[in-house]
């Protein structure tokens, strides 16, 4: 069982790492394009200062730059974190079942698991993921935000809404997962990894040769969940419902 838990943690770390790298790549590309757009709009504004359309476009691009780090980046990190958690929930059950079959092959024929049990376990994993989305929707209106057409709002309005969503979703994650940095050191600090360091918790990048101890620089502190305490699942509610509709009567 310890080996299964270790593999499950390794899968979680790797999936979240891939999602984080994907998020960083998208954020970096978006920021790069935003910088190019800002330079071009700025040149047009200097060349044609009397055109109100160019002036308004320059103001919108500037507002987007100001809101990129405090609003867009946190929202994208939350989104990719949820995608990574969903993928982990889908992967961990088949991997654990396969490892159990490898460890105890002689018992497979004596106690074959019914197909219904496997389906129920898969449905339970899906419900857990949707349940987390339900909590984020209930506390922070996350699904309302992602489904909203933002083109009809000004950047200042979007920034104010994202700030409230970010605060409430962060409170929800702290309540149910209590995320904590893997390393105590800050990004940019020097660190020495001894021979007994956990490769599941710390990923080595760069020029990795030889045997530990390794000396390097912290590029990302990592994240781990200190707990996983979602509210109890209801046995009667449709698992596909993230948040029920609300109708006021009278």
The answer to whether 22 and 80 are in contact (CB under 8 A) is yes
Residue 237 lies in a domain: no
- Helix ranges (H only) for the chain are 2-47, 52-67, 73-103, 115-140, 142-147, 155-176
What distance in Å separates the CA atoms of residue 75 and residue 173, rounded to the nearest whole number? Answer: 13
What distance in Å separates the CA atoms of residue 182 and residue 172, rounded to the nearest whole number? Answer: 20
What distance in Å separates the CA atoms of residue 34 and residue 30, rounded to the nearest whole number? Answer: 6
Residue 164 lies in a domain: yes
Average pLDDT, the chain: 78
Which is more confidently placed, 15 or 115?
15
Q: How many domains does the chain have?
A: 1
Beta partners for 181?
Answer: 223
The answer, yes or no, to whether residue 202 has pLDDT greater than 70, is yes
The answer, yes or no, to whether residue 191 has pLDDT greater than 70, is yes
Residue 216 lies in a domain: no
The answer to whether 183 and 177 are in contact (CB under 8 A) is no
Which is more confidently placed, 161 or 181?
181
Residue 170 lies in a domain: yes
pLDDT value of position 150:
78
pLDDT value of position 186:
92
What distance in Å separates the CA atoms of residue 119 and residue 21, rounded to the nearest whole number? Answer: 32
What distance in Å separates the CA atoms of residue 199 and residue 66, rounded to the nearest whole number? Answer: 38
Which is more confidently placed, 130 or 71?
71
Share of the chain above pLDDT 70, in %: 80
The answer, yes or no, to whether residue 46 has pLDDT greater than 90, is no
Mean pLDDT across 37-52: 82
The answer, yes or no, to whether residue 171 has pLDDT greater than 90, is no
pLDDT value of position 216:
92
Confidence of residue 44 (pLDDT cuts 50, 70, 90): confident
Mean pLDDT across 48-66: 81
What distance in Å separates the CA atoms of residue 234 and residue 54, rounded to the nearest whole number? Answer: 54
Confidence of residue 90 (pLDDT cuts 50, 70, 90): confident
The answer, yes or no, to whether residue 190 has pLDDT greater than 90, is yes
Confidence of residue 168 (pLDDT cuts 50, 70, 90): confident
User: How many beta carbons lie within 10 A of that of residue 242, not counting itself?
Assistant: 16
Residue 238 lies in a domain: no
Residue 217 lies in a domain: no
The answer, yes or no, to whether residue 74 has pLDDT greater than 50, is yes
The answer, yes or no, to whether residue 106 has pLDDT greater than 50, is no
Residue 175 lies in a domain: yes
What are residue 128's phi and psi, to 5 degrees? -60, -45
Residue 151 lies in a domain: yes
**141: closest CA among 119, 122, 169?**
169
pLDDT value of position 107:
46
Beta partners for 225?
Answer: 179
pLDDT value of position 109:
47
Beta strands (DSSP E) in 160-225 are: 179-181, 190-193, 214-217, 223-225
What distance in Å separates the CA atoms of residue 163 and residue 160, rounded to the nearest whole number? Answer: 5
Domain that holds residue 49: 2-105+113-182
């Amino acid at each position: 069982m310890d080996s299964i838990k270790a593999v499950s943690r390794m899968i979680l770390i790797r999936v979240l790492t891939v999602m984080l790298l994907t998020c960083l790549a998208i954020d970096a590309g978006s920021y790069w394009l935003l910088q190019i757009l800002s330079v071009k709009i700025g040149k047009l504004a200097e060349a044609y200062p009397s055109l109100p359309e160019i002036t308004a476009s320059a103001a919108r691009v500037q507002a987007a730059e100001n809101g990129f780090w405090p609003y867009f980046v946190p929202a994208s990190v939350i989104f990719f974190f949820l995608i990574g958690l969903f993928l982990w929930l889908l992967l961990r059950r088949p991997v654990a079942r396969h490892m159990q079959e490898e460890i105890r092959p002689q018992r497979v024929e004596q106690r074959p698991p019914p197909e219904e049990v496997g389906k129920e376990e898969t449905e339970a994993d899906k419900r857990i993921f949707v349940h987390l989305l339900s909590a984020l929707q209930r506390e922070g209106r996350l699904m309302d935000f992602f489904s909203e057409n933002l083109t009809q709002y000004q950047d200042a309005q979007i920034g104010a809404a994202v700030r409230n969503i970010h605060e409430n979703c962060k409170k929800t994650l702290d309540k149910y997962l209590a995320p904590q940095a893997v390393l105590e050191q800050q990004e940019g600090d020097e660190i020495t990894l001894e021979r007994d360091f956990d490769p599941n918790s710390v990923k080595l990048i760069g020029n990795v040769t030889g045997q530990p101890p390794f000396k390097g620089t912290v590029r990302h502190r990592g994240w781990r969940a200190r707990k996983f305490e979602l509210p109890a699942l209801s046995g009667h509610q449709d698992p596909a419902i993230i948040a029920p509709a609300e109708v006021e009567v009278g």
